[in-house]
Every structure is written in C-alpha cells, then in structure tokens.
Amino acid sequence: MSDIADFAERIAREAGELIRRERDQNTLRTDYKHQTELVTHADVMADEFITSAIRQAWPDHRILSEETMPDLSQAEELETPLWIVDPIDGTVNYAYGHPQVAVSIAWAEKGRVQVGIVHAPFSEETFRAEKGKGATLNGQPIQHSGATDLRQSLFATGFPYTKDNLEPLVRRLNVMIHHCRDLRRIGSAALDICWVACGRLDAYYETVSPWDFAAAKLIAREAGASAGHFSEVSEGYPEDLWGRDNLITAPGIYDGIRALLAEA
C-alpha cells in the first residue's frame, strides 16, 4: 500500500504546485456548475492532471473525481479499486485568495478507504494516512485534541451552495453554538477534518460528497479520532464513502455531539 500512498502524495503535491501557479500568475477563469457552485479553470486542470496520472499508473482502477468524473454510483461498485479525488477542496477560498485550500486524494479497496492524502499547497502542509499505520502531518505523527468537555470544544461545519433547505442546518448550528465553545468556518471540508485529526479543532459535522471527506476521514481515524454519522447509513452503501451527516470528533465528545445533532 505504501507505493500507492507515495504515488498519491506525489501527484497531490504536483497538483498543488499547479493550482498555486495558476492563482499566482493568472487572472482566474471562473464558471458555475449546477447554477450555484463555483468552479475555476484550475479545478479542471488539476483534476485532469491527477486522473491522467492515475490512469497511466493503474489503468484498471476506477476514478471518482469532482470535476471530470463525479458519478457517485462508482462508490457502489466494490470489486475494483477506486480513487476518490477532489482537485481543489475549497474552491471559493481559492478564488478569493484565501489559503485554506487542499488537494484531496483517497484510494479505496472493496469500499474501504486504505490511503488518504490531503495536501494544502498554500500552507505547505501534507496530511497522510495508510490504514493501520497512523496519520502524519509533514511526516510527523499527529493525534486528536483529546477533548472531553463539550462546552470547551471548538467545532467546524459548512453549508451547501443551494439554500432551499437550510432550516435543519440552522437548528443544528443553534444547538451546537449553545453547547460548545465556538464555531470555525474554514471553507474546506478536507481541512476541517484534518484539523480535527491534528487537534486544531475538536469536532466537525456536515453533509458533503465522498471526494470532500474520503481521504481526510481516514486521516482522522488513524489519528485516533472517532468518525461516523449522526443518521443512518443507506443499506448496502460503503460507510467510508457515505456523505450524509458526517461526524468526526475527539473520542471523548463524540457521543454527546452525536446525540445533540440527531435530536436537532
């Protein structure tokens, strides 16, 4: 598995250089997909770079990627190894010149994520995990915060681009704000989760797509964090790739937050 992890880290770093170069040297070209979600030319360039490298190295593997191959049914086919790619997690941050941007690459076998790389090119931080081998940040081992007091816990979440069903999200945010220390809105799900993994945050929850969380969730688990969902996972769908109602926290506050969110 280390050869796959080394390969994933290398292409994540190279994609990171590509998107840094595009933002530093050019006027960003932007567009919208589904009428609401911002996408830049750099998203597509980085996606094509990563998926092309994967196809060349492992032509028999499948790819689920946000920009060029976003077919979620790929996650339900478990017989062939699957790569899950987000070329720029935090596209709005990227377009506005914020540093919280990440390249996320995961590799799954039989529906279970085995390798996760999240590379933040502007902060020059690379989070990495292989199943059963722990998690690292720039080669150094990381672990969760160890938080046990909900009221002293710092949490992160995000909000969807479509705003037609915000009431449940507002209820959850209200209960969390009243029971925790404070909220951080970072703008990249992959980095939110990695920050739980290394103790910069105590908890994260959100409904997102597999490419947003697959790599980071393995990193968090390998750093000792608790990771699951505060609602039921659809029967027959790989739990590692189920995106609805994700919850990742330090173990000591997981049950408390899960109960709050489920009730809200």
* Cα 129 to Cα 123: distance, rounded to the nearest angstrom: 19
> Chain-centre distance of CA 22, in angstroms?
22
Q: Is 24 annotated as a binding residue?
A: no
Count of CB atoms situated within 10 Å of the CB of 198: 22
Q: Is 89 annotated as a binding residue?
A: yes
Cα dihedral value 29, 84, 116, 121, nearest 10: -10
* Cα 264 to Cα 120: distance, rounded to the nearest angstrom: 33
Q: How far is CA 89 from CA 6, 94, 100, 151, 187, in A?
A: 20, 9, 9, 29, 8
* Cα 215 to Cα 105: distance, rounded to the nearest angstrom: 6
Q: Is 240 annotated as a binding residue?
A: no
Q: Is 43 annotated as a binding residue?
A: no
Q: Is 47 annotated as a binding residue?
A: no
**CB of 185 closer than 8 Å to CB of 98:** no
* Cα 2 to Cα 130: distance, rounded to the nearest angstrom: 8
Residue set of the binding site: 66, 86, 88-89, 212
Give the annotated binding-site residues for Mg(2+).
Answer: 66, 86, 88-89, 212
